[in-house]
Amino acid sequence: MSVLNDAARAAISSANLAHLVTLNADGSPQLSAVWVGMDGDDVVSGHMGDRQKLRNVRRDPRVAFSMQTGVVNAMGLAEYLVVRGTGQVVEGDAAALLQRLAHVHIGPDAKFPPGENHPMGLILRITPERVSGIGPWANT
Amino acid sequence: MSVLNDAARAAISSANLAHLVTLNADGSPQLSAVWVGMDGDDVVSGHMGDRQKLRNVRRDPRVAFSMQTGVVNAMGLAEYLVVRGTGQVVEGDAAALLQRLAHVHIGPDAKFPPGENHPMGLILRITPERVSGIGPWANT
């Protein structure tokens, strides 16, 4: 069974930005915000070119991301989901993935990335291993 | 001069949750969301008891946090601020700091933490060293 329950999958599939951490060569944390979606039981993001976070994942696959869902609980605290897992960088149709995520994050008419005939890009696949945060994320 | 310009200071002082990363003993990233505010040129968070993130900072002071501001730019991308810096855990009046931050994050009538006569707690002080993200964060 995936560590992601239906609520976590729904949060990841919605217009919530993932604050993604990877590890630099010196072990320090590298943070950036990315669009993510589900692909089977993996969490995926699309990248048209190589980036520091992807080089980091190739060297050390330990990643984590945190996202807010916009829900505030009865105590007034903002709900958020943290996922820890193992990342893998693979070649793939990053433009098609980005276009799918742009429809979620920008809107149904969004065209992203701009232009046509995009080359193959890179996909970051994260296999979730542990969830935490504030919200209904625990598998029961 | 601080690496934080006025826009970054304003974002940190507003009701934006910080997705804070610290480093576990095995070097893996630990993420959680915290309320933060400014104290002089440092970024501070309050903690009534010891927590994994604080133990991590004592061992390895390299920290980073990411926050969204709710602003969307002309391309439809969500603005966010990433701060990297050095953390230090000190004893302090965490309840008073949390109460100040609760007024920002929950509202002017919020009472947090509940109760009276709180013991001293722990303050995480982050000295910012580098900013990135999407937004008007570059010092000019």
Secondary structure (DSSP) of A49-113: S--HHHHHHHH--EEEEEEEEEEE-TTSPEEEEEEEEEEEEEEE-HHHHHHHHHHHHT-TT---S
Contact A62, A109 (CB under 8 A): no
Is residue A76 pLDDT above 90, yes or no?
no
Written out in words, the top-level CATH class of the domain with range B6-134 is: mainly beta
The pair of structure tokens assigned to B33 is 């969301």
Q: Is B97 helix (H, G, I), strand (E, B) or coil?
A: helix
pLDDT the model gives residue B115: 87
Is residue A1 pLDDT above 80, yes or no?
no
B54 CB-near residues (< 8 Å, 6+ apart): B47, B89, B122, B124
Could you report the per-residue pLDDT of A2-40, keeping only the tens digit for each? 899 999 999 999 999 999 999 999 999 999 999 999 999
Is residue B1 pLDDT above 80, yes or no?
no
Q: Which residue has the tokens 């013991």?
A: B119
First CA to last CA distance, chain B: 11
C-alpha A40/C-alpha A11 separation (Å) is 15
Residue type, B71: V
Pairing of strands B18-23, B29-34: antiparallel
The pair of structure tokens assigned to B123 is 């303050």
Residues of chain B contacting residue A65, judged by C-beta atoms under 8 Å apart: 31
Could you report the per-residue pLDDT of B80-89, keeping only the tens digit for each? 999 999 999 9
Nearest to A66 among B31, B78, B84 (CB): B31
Nearest-Cα residue of chain A relative to residue B20: A66
The pair of structure tokens assigned to B90 is 């000190």
Confidence of residue B132 (pLDDT cuts 50, 70, 90): very high
Cβ distance of B29 and A76 shorter than 8 Å: no
| Residue A61 C-alpha, separation from nearest chain B C-alpha, in angstroms | 10
Contact A94, A48 (CB under 8 A): yes
Please state the ipTM of this predicted complex.
0.95
**Dihedral sign computed on CA atoms, order A98, A83, A33, B23:** negative
What is the percent of chain B where pLDDT is above 70?
A: 99
Cβ distance of A76 and B17 shorter than 8 Å: no
Confidence of residue A88 (pLDDT cuts 50, 70, 90): very high
